[in-house]
Amino acid sequence: MTTLLVIAKEPRPGRVKTRLTPPFAPEEAAELAEAALADTLRTVAAAPASRRVLVLDGAPGRWLPPGFDVVPQCAGGLDERLADAFAHCHGPALLIGMDTPQVTPELLTVDFAGCDAYFGPARDGGFWALGLSRPDPALLLGVPMSTPVTGAVQRQRLAAAGLRVRDLPCLRDVDTAADAYAVAALAPHSRFAARLARCATAAGRP
Domains of the chain in sequence order: 3-202 (3.90.550.10)
Within the chain, residue ranges assigned H as helices are: 26-46, 78-86, 150-160, 177-186, 191-202
pTM to 2 decimals?
Answer: 0.95
Contacts of 128 (CB under 8 A, 6+ apart): 96, 97, 99, 100, 103, 120, 121, 122, 168, 171, 173
Distance CA 173, CA 101 (A): 9
Q: What digits encode the pLDDT tens for the residues 40-77?
A: 999 999 999 999 999 999 999 999 999 999 999 999 99
Q: What digits encode the pLDDT tens for the residues 78-91?
A: 999 999 999 988 89
